[in-house]
Amino acid sequence: MNVLFISNLFPDEKESYRGLDNAVVLHHLVASGKATVKSLALRPRLSLSLSGNKLELSPRARDAELHPEFHAIPYIPKVGGAFNARLAANYLTTVLQSTFSTYKPDVILTSWLFPDAAATVKACHRLGNQTPIVMIAQGSDVHRYLQSSTRCRQIIESIKSSNVCNVITRSRRLSELLAEAGAPTEKLRTIYNGIDQGVFHPPTIPRYPTPASPLYLTVGNLLPVKNQSMLIEALALLNISRKSKGQQPARLTIAGKGPLRTELENLAERLGEGSNVHLTGPLPAEQVADAMRSADYFCMSSLNEGFPNVLLEAMACSLPIISTDVGGIAELVRTYATGQLVPSENTEAMALAMETQFTTASLQQDANPAVKDWTAVAQDYALILNRAVNRPSKEGAD
């Protein structure tokens, strides 16, 4: 099976974590021996031009087997909702025409519904190409873009296209939102991301159920949407309560990089928590896993999420979870994981959950049954892709 992957969510040497989940799935498809992959990695660039250009970006060495090409796609931020899919399709039409002359895909896999997936559908229609298409909905492309009437209309129209076989969503909630917006439910399939179970696994020594000085961990980019400031504020409230009871202060480790680091450090100092809050910067997967096994609880304070991979990793490490109830997080945390969910942007509720969690958590040390490794996840993808390839042929284009 020849797979053509098209998305801006694909890593390069400088942005090695960009679309990493997509790259991991593609590598496992290739490793299965059942697929070859060619990748068109798009990079949006501010432009009013109808044309893009090929970029000389360096791929990660390990991605050579995915045969990536990097292309600048014209893109107008914020106000370009009515135009961006069309602008991208204009350039993709030329790129696909060239690609199809040397690589004959059995199926196209495209991630990020707008403009990437919508533009791919438009370009294929212009070429009269009926290669089956499978889309991947990541999270923000649903939560954010369905709020825009122009983007929403184009997303749903593209999903309804005759050569679009399925949309893989990374949480059931994303499927629900797409269905509510008008997407055909029979095309929606939920596949959660996988994890590397050789790296993320429970600690060999069970956690102490009531630690004297509990350690809370959060992992994520230091961006407004992750709202780590709420965790620092919640920690300050928690430690006021702990001090009144003669208890040692709780601690918070924040792993990740981003523009808000200085702001978060200043907030911790201002609230008197400078010695209890530790910002590590970005950590490789092995160190993240070690941090999860050393921590007592995992916290997430996001304003918006699909289903974040870091929660699956925390669950694989048997780490109890305290999170805001956003996106698809409730789907697995409530069903399978030890944890508590709190309303978004509610600092007091977060502090209360942090205070009660460590005395009431029922800690389990076994691997979580909801968490799959990437090999199993890639098999789920392969099943959908094979069904798309072998579907009854349809004549004509929409």
For 49-101, give the DSSP string. SS--EEE-PPPPGGGGGG-EEEEEEEE-TTT-TTTHHHHHHHHHHHHHHHHHH
Q: Are residues 352 and 383 in the same domain?
A: no
From 132-136, 327-331, 384-388, the region with the lowest mean pLDDT: 327-331
Are residues 186 and 226 part of one domain?
Answer: no
Mean of all residue pLDDT scores within the chain:
91
Pairing relationship of beta strands 53-55 and 188-190 according to DSSP bridges: unpaired
pLDDT (0 to 100) of residue 49: 56
Q: Are residues 187 and 226 in the same domain?
A: no
Does the residue 118 lie in any domain?
A: yes
| C-alpha to C-alpha distance for 349 and 341, rounded to whole angstroms | 9
Nearest Cα neighbor of 381 from 106, 25, 129 is 25
Mean pLDDT, rounded, for 321-335: 84
In a domain, 44, yes or no: yes
Pairing of strands 188-190, 277-281: unpaired
> Per DSSP, what are the bridge partners of residue 5?
39, 109
* One domain for residues 349 and 245: yes
Q: What mean pLDDT comes out for the span 380-396?
A: 84
pLDDT confidence tier of residue 358, bands split at 50, 70 and 90: low
The pTM is what?
0.85
Do 231 and 174 lie in one domain? The reply is no
Q: Domain limits at 265? A: 215-360
Q: How many helices (H) and strands (E) does the chain have?
A: 13, 14
pLDDT tier, 75 (very low <50, low <70, confident <90, very high otherwise): confident
Shared domain check, 383 and 325: no
Task: Check: CB of residue 104 under 8 Å from CB of residue 98.
Answer: no
Q: Say if 42 falls within a structural domain.
A: yes
Q: What pLDDT was estimated at residue 313?
A: 93
Angle, CA 53 vertex, CA 51 and CA 58 arms, to 5°: 155
Per-residue model confidence (pLDDT) at position 363? 47
Question: In angstroms, rounded to a whole number, what is the distance separating the alpha carbons of residues 318 and 312?
Answer: 10
Q: pLDDT at position 396, please?
A: 42
Instruction: Give the closest residue to 156 by CA, choosing from 55, 106, 85, 95.
Output: 85
Residue 39 confidence (pLDDT) above 70: yes
Tell me how far CA of residue 339 lies from CA of 51, 91, 300, in angstroms.
49, 47, 11
Tens digits of residue pLDDT in 149-189: 999 999 999 999 999 999 999 999 999 999 999 999 999 99
* pLDDT tens-digit series, residues 368-385: 556 889 999 999 999 999
Confidence of residue 314 (pLDDT cuts 50, 70, 90): very high
pLDDT > 90: what percent of the chain? 75
Residues 320 and 385 in one domain: no
135 in helix, strand or coil?
A: strand
Mean pLDDT, range 18-29, rounded to an integer: 95
- Confidence check: pLDDT of 203 > 80: yes
In a domain? residue 29: yes
Neighbouring residues of 120: CB distance < 8 A, sequence distance ≥ 6? 6, 89, 92, 108, 110, 133
Q: Indicate which CATH number applies to the domain containing 265.
A: 3.40.50.2000
d(CA 357, CA 95): 53
> Are residues 328 and 272 both part of a single domain?
yes
Structure tokens at 59: 């791929």
Look at residue 46 and tell me if it is in a domain: yes
Is residue 343 a part of any domain in this protein? Answer: yes
- Asked if 11 and 60 touch (Cβ cutoff 8 Å), the reply is yes
pLDDT of residue 370: 64
Same domain, 229 and 318: yes
3-state secondary structure of 389: helix
Q: What angle do CA 333, 338, 340 make, to 5 degrees?
A: 65
Cα 175 to its chain centre, rounded Å, is 15
Looking at per-residue pLDDT, the higher value among 34 and 237 belongs to 237
DSSP string computed for 301-321? --S--S--HHHHHHHHTT--E
**pLDDT category of residue 13 using cuts at 50, 70 and 90:** very high
Whether residue 201 is contained in a domain is answered as no
Of 29-33, 279-283, 389-393, the poorest mean pLDDT is in 389-393
How far apart, in whole angstroms, are the C-alpha atoms of residue 24 and residue 13?
A: 15
- Structural domain count of the chain: 2
183 and 247 part of one domain: no
186 and 249 share one domain: no
122-160 pLDDT per residue, tens: 999 999 999 999 999 998 899 889 999 999 999 999 999
Residue 397 pLDDT: 41
